[in-house]
Amino acid sequence: MSESDTTPTALRTPIVAVLGHVDHGKTSLLDTIRGSAVSEGEAGAITQHIGATAVPLETISDMAGSLVDPEDFDLPGLLFIDTPGHHSFSTLRSRGGALADIAIVVVDVNDGFQPQTVEAIEILKRTGTPFVVAANKIDTTPGWNPQEGAPIQQTYEAQSSRARSMLDENLYEIIGDLSDNGFSADLYWRVQNFQKNVGVVPSSAMTSEGIPDLLAVLMGLSQRYMKEEMQIDVTGPGAGTVLEVKEERGFGTTLDVVLYDGSIKEGETIVVGGKNDPIVTEVRALLRPRPNAEIRTEKRFERVDEVTAASGVKIAAPDLEDAMAGAPVRVVRDRPVDEVIAEVKRELAEIEVETAEE
Ligand code: GDP
């Protein structure tokens, strides 16, 4: 595809975060996307990650039906970060911005905007992260006639005019709230330019209605406006962000990391942001969840030799006790270690400024 064979660049998966007020359906929406990806039944329909779920383009296309033609895309799919809380989201940064390339703000269509919805939108505004709004739980509209897994247009046509107008009323309320918060928004099929306007996608995590639309909008947005940012040197030294610091039996303190650039290999030296000075250590093991892991088995993870962005991975290494969630992780590889330490320090200082402002 590329005319040059000297630069080992590739398009990486865009990283998607799901935000919203508690109980509006973040977890359910992710579970639904994951679940229907799995039940598409193809081998490797999703890849198991730590702290994230990768859904490849073919699976997205199978789920979205006619709304996503794989021929139209060259991005490899979407990587969904498992719902971090807001405070962690605001500290989840990558070099020069938010870790997530794109976000879904979930709003209960009956409940409308709530304090954490506003908070989420403030964070996205501040970090300049493009987002779509999933107006969720449309199936709870009185008199709703559910169309399992259908795109919105099709679902709409199956509703009574009373149910439709009740839903419309709630949707316009959300559009109004977005406008009060400084975003011009509309129902997604009316949005011409997703850089200027926020698209609202009616959805249900319960009946999967509108999920095809949500996936289509996310793919379209990434492909259209973020393709250049997704161009990475896959063989470059890895860069990532710590999602969680966790004790793991047999491995000691480990890091759950989202790698957003380059690659990381077993045995490599890494620099990790710590409570005091940056930690310089060596990767003892790179771990992925074992496919179809039985919950009670001791060996929940399998080792991999190398991981490339964008992915979620667990890193086992000595001396990680003082590592912090939100901190940067860098592979040193061919660079002077001091240079990498300085880079990590600079980034940590930025995060501290941000957190202090909250
Ligand atoms: P979170 O706190 O945002 O992660 O919300 P959850 O995903 O835990 O959902 C909160 C509650 O709303 C749970 O009882 C879900 O079953 C329910 N729920 C989530 N999405 C939907 C939906 O689309 N329709 C209906 N009827 N219930 C939903």
Among 96, 169, 127, 95, smallest CA distance to 19 is for 127
Cα 318 to Cα 304: distance, rounded to the nearest angstrom:
18
Contact 297, 264 (CB under 8 A): no
Ligand 1 atom nearest to CA at 21: 3
Measure CA 281 to chain center: 27
Alpha-carbon distances, residue 215 vs 16, 201, 212 (angstroms)? 11, 10, 5
CA 29 to ligand 1 centroid distance, Å: 8
Of 18, 21, 23, 26, the one to substitute when testing ligand 1's pocket (max ligand atoms within 8 A of C-beta) is: 23
Whole-number pLDDT of residue 295 = 47
Residue 172: phi, psi to the nearest 5? -70, -30
Of 22, 28, 140, 201, the one to substitute when testing ligand 1's pocket (max ligand atoms within 8 A of C-beta) is: 28
Give the H/E segment covering residue 328: strand 328-331
Residues in contact with ligand 1 (CB, 6 Å cut-off): 20, 22-28, 136-137, 139-140, 204-206
Q: Is the dihedral of CA 298, 301, 302, 303 positive or negative?
A: negative
Contact 11, 227 (CB under 8 A): yes
Q: What residue's CA is closest to ligand 1, atom 16?
A: 28
Cα 328 to Cα 330: distance, rounded to the nearest angstrom:
7
Contact 55, 70 (CB under 8 A): no
CA 33 to ligand 1 centroid distance, Å: 13
CA 27 to ligand 1 centroid distance, Å: 7
Count, residues in the chain = 358
Question: Which amino acid, residue 333?
Answer: R
Give Rg (Cα) of the chain.
21
Ligand 1 atom nearest to CA at 204: 23
Give the helix, strand, coil percentages of the chain, each rounded to 5: 35, 30, 40
CA 31 to ligand 1 centroid distance, Å: 10
Ordered strands of the 15-20 beta sheet: 47-48, 52-56, 77-81, 15-20, 102-108, 131-136, 198-202, 185-187
79 Cβ neighbours under 8 A, 6+ residues apart: 13, 14, 15, 16, 49, 52, 53, 54, 55, 258, 310, 311, 312
Cα 74 to Cα 234: distance, rounded to the nearest angstrom:
16
Write down the ipTM of this complex. 0.99
Tokens of residue 220, six digits: 């379209």
Ligand 1 atom nearest to CA at 83: 4
CA 23 to ligand 1 centroid distance, Å: 6
Q: What is the pLDDT along the chain (358 residues), one digit of tens a residue?
A: 444 456 678 999 999 999 999 999 999 999 898 877 666 555 446 667 888 888 889 889 988 989 999 899 999 999 999 866 666 677 677 776 788 999 999 999 999 999 999 999 998 998 889 999 999 999 999 999 999 999 999 999 999 999 999 999 999 999 999 999 999 999 999 999 998 999 999 999 999 999 999 999 999 999 988 888 899 998 999 999 999 999 998 999 999 999 999 999 999 999 999 999 999 999 999 999 876 554 455 678 889 999 999 999 999 999 999 999 889 999 999 999 999 999 999 998 887 766 565 5
CA 28 to ligand 1 centroid distance, Å: 5
Contact 166, 142 (CB under 8 A): yes
Beta bridge partners of 330: 239, 271
DSSP state, residue 274:
B
Among 97, 50, 102, 56, smallest CA distance to 75 is for 56
CA 108 to ligand 1 centroid distance, Å: 9
